[in-house]
Structure 1
């Protein structure tokens, strides 16, 4: 088959060799039909997000392992039929999902590298384009790579327009459950997906808060793509993975709540808010001018927000809803404010812009906003970075991967020793995803996709907080 040149491991290059490629479809015939994208799906540009899981050597032979993965996948696609379809343009030019059971591209590969030799801190070298597949067709691509030591890496690439992280997690857990079962059926699933798009229908008439025009931009108003500058070429966006100990997280949270002006009865800043504030200060400190405006956004899941009422059936359906139900509120401050003011002040600013998107009205208004900008829809403004003005600086988005289901992605040979999202999304803004650490103890693992200079600043000034992920950390 094909060969994929790998990155450096120590002083040695490693090669990934594709041994088999096939398409896995649902095990049962499915009637062909169209599934429209919801208004919230239409806020996503055509980009793919990845995830990978590393396993120690399974006891079963490789053919048995791959057989279990494919069997479970074929069963899972009966319920998760959207992942076996194709995105095509409708008569208005908008993307729509054709559920035709086209199937999922499934790649088998071998890599001449030991599992514990993979440099997980540097996924650009060890993961990107080698272990996480590049999706060429359909909605989902999967790759199972056997390593020289007998270890295994299972990785997926999802079309983000079809599935947010919450939806991808639902699928991963269900796929693992069905792969383990000797007689898998739909009833085996702990959380069958819901595709009822009417849950996200716009209101008549719509009600749109002015804040949404600041957070989102219609596709028709998007600026032309930026030209690569010499500065961006010398300071490229790269991916790195770190871990943060529970003690450091607690310390950051304590500092974020330390301002004496904070009401003692007020809700404390969460660990996520505190970490976001800390990162915002670090990114601002990496800029070259105090007047530079730095932006940070945080992904908010709307499922719980849209089910705040007394409708228990709607709440249950939203809990299993498959698709995108996210918003990305953001804040913008000068580098001077962010670097000179206290962490607690920055955390308060984070809390303030985050709270405005954590309501039912925000998400109902966002659905109405997209409806008002059809055809075409829109996109989160922060995805396109800080803008073109002289004082516009870096921008980045933080997602919350605290529901990352690592321990549940057991296909029958034990839980993974490590797993992570992998999302070098290609926008002008950076991306950060904190997740629970497989080492436990309250530690977090953090995937970062930022400018090289920003990461160098973080490592040089906050190396005690963001520590390079190593196998020694994972196995001790």
Structure 2
């Protein structure tokens, strides 16, 4: 493939949105208060994140209105997931709880005068027109007062539609949200009861009494930033990793690392190339935080149906000099090893740390964070129109800093199944990042090349 980095022409289309409404559970639900866990109510998670799912027209559903089907299924799904229809409340010690009031979730019906074909190749996550297809919520509105779900369903001129689901992250992680979405889809297809029954059980991840920090949590160590802020003038590109790219990265590894996961390879690639592109001083520490689903780290594992936050993001730490001058395998091994630090004890230690340290934020200085959303299977959510063409976060960044990102699955216009990695960097650093990626994929781990015959494709 040739290195492609072209801006997409702006697409102008008309959008009509109805007034927001509240969709309440279809049946009466318990009026009670539920505590969130001490993993749930981290300050880092106290905001709404949005997943965008894009669907094509399906001839067998020609007489069905997707807005009506999805709205009715939502009301029925909320009978099972009724805490989502409540509101948050904060008590002493910044402890969050949910008042299960049954007030409902925000729902917006919309129509857009555009077809999927008009978007061309720009359907991969993060969808560049995401903002137009989300609920209009002012940044100044307090997250604690907003409904816990913000949903917009937009009909397209071609018969396709787009479903935007914003959720308050303190209620669920990616796996938990996926569980809810699949239940929602099942009900839309006529199934009366979700195949997986939801479980609250947030007491499983409450801090111990007394709380005690027993593990090394480098992701929360405060670091002084020695450089002026470079968070301005950022540019975004998304990189599509085809099977050929993954094979090229594996060829750089010794035999004992050849079975490393795709997450390990892409995360190590990002960490190394990003550090080089930012020209970080060789003796400065850099860190990569890897989001790890901890459900199976417990003995016994967390019960099936648990939809709360159950992840940690341990940090691999090294110096910029070691990361950039050692072989690629060095970064891969660091990523692989740090994921193994997450145990049941580690999760309890994080919960205790939140109580003892005032629900502190992770460090963002010389840090990156990557989340693997491929196993959340957002593309597989089926409301009756089949699987989504594309599904992923509305934004390429994850969390409060531009160093956070995610990996999602996508099938490109050539029919190749691959993985998409969005990257935000200062404008001056992005060309260096692209070059480092190309060099690495061509087997040049430390020396630049003049020609790149098969570089990775990137798009704005």
Per the TM superposition, whether the score is higher than 0.5 is yes
Q: Secondary structure at the match of 1:295?
A: strand
Match of 1:133 in 2: 135
Q: Secondary structure at the match of 1:304?
A: helix
For structure 1, list consecutive stretches of 5 or more residues without a partner in the other structure.
1-7, 259-263, 387-393, 471-476
Change (3 A) 1:198 1:430: same
- Which string of whole-angstrom CA distances, capped at 9 and with x for unpartnered residues, describes residues 46-95 of structure 1? 22211111111244468722111011101111111121111122244433
- Which string of whole-angstrom CA distances, capped at 9 and with x for unpartnered residues, describes residues 258-284 of structure 1? 5xxxxx5x8943221122111111101
- Which string of whole-angstrom CA distances, capped at 9 and with x for unpartnered residues, describes residues 356-401 of structure 1? 22x222112222323334xx4233x23xx11xxxxxxx32101111
Count of aligned positions: 423
* Contact 2:215/2:346 (<8 A) preserved: no
Distance in 2, Cα, partners of 1:107 & 1:75? 17
Q: How much does 1:138 deviate?
A: 1.0
The answer to whether 1:397 aligns with 2:369 is yes
Match of 2:290 in 1: 298
- Larger mean CA deviation between 196-205 and 274-283 belongs to 196-205
* Contact 1:24/1:105 (<8 A) preserved: yes
* Contact 2:379/2:390 (<8 A) preserved: no
The answer to whether 1:323 aligns with 2:308 is yes
Distance in 2, Cα, partners of 1:351 & 1:122? 26
The answer to whether 1:197 aligns with 2:202 is yes
- Which string of whole-angstrom CA distances, capped at 9 and with x for unpartnered residues, describes residues 307-346 of structure 1? xx3x4xxx3x533212111111112333322222110111
The answer to whether 1:77 aligns with 2:59 is no
Match of 1:10 in 2: 9
The answer to whether 1:363 aligns with 2:347 is yes
* Contact 1:250/1:271 (<8 A) preserved: no
TM-score, normalised via structure 2 length: 0.83
Out of 235, 246, 250, the residue aligned to residue 247 of structure 2 is 250
Change (3 A) 1:413 1:122: closer
Match of 1:167 in 2: 176
* Contact 1:84/1:139 (<8 A) preserved: yes
- Larger mean CA deviation between 244-253 and 430-439 belongs to 430-439
The answer to whether 1:430 aligns with 2:437 is no
Q: Secondary structure at the match of 2:13?
A: strand
Spell out the pairing of 1:305-384 with structure 2 (5 A cutoff): 305-306=297-298, 309=299, 311=300, 315=301, 318-357=303-342, 359-373=343-357, 376-379=358-361, 381-382=362-363
Change (3 A) 1:71 1:121: closer
Change (3 A) 1:230 1:321: closer
Distance in 1, Cα, partners of 2:432 & 2:127? 19
Distance in 2, Cα, partners of 1:462 & 1:412? 40
Change (3 A) 1:10 1:154: same
Change (3 A) 1:158 1:256: farther
- Which string of whole-angstrom CA distances, capped at 9 and with x for unpartnered residues, describes residues 424-448 of structure 1? 4561342221123346765223344
* Contact 1:430/1:451 (<8 A) preserved: no
Change (3 A) 1:202 1:68: same
Distance in 1, Cα, partners of 2:315 & 2:286? 10
* Contact 2:109/2:152 (<8 A) preserved: yes
Distance in 1, Cα, partners of 2:106 & 2:36? 22
Q: Secondary structure at the match of 1:433?
A: strand
Q: Secondary structure at the match of 1:17?
A: strand
Match of 1:445 in 2: 420
Q: How much does 1:194 deviate?
A: 0.7
Q: RCO higher in 1 or 2 (8 Å CA, sep ≥ 6)?
A: 2
- Larger mean CA deviation between 20-29 and 328-337 belongs to 328-337
Distance in 2, Cα, partners of 1:70 & 1:433? 29
Distance in 1, Cα, partners of 2:75 & 2:82? 10
Change (3 A) 1:468 1:114: farther
Distance in 1, Cα, partners of 2:285 & 2:223? 20
* Contact 1:409/1:416 (<8 A) preserved: yes
- Which string of whole-angstrom CA distances, capped at 9 and with x for unpartnered residues, describes residues 283-302 of structure 1? 01112343344321100111
Out of 199, 211, 226, the residue aligned to residue 216 of structure 2 is 211
Distance in 1, Cα, partners of 2:148 & 2:65? 26
Q: How much does 1:162 deviate?
A: 1.2
* Contact 1:256/1:269 (<8 A) preserved: no
- Larger mean CA deviation between 342-351 and 445-454 belongs to 445-454
TM-score, normalised via structure 1 length: 0.80
Spell out the pairing of 1:227-242 with structure 2 (5 A cutoff): 231-234=230-233, 236=234, 238-242=235-239
Match of 2:24 in 1: 25
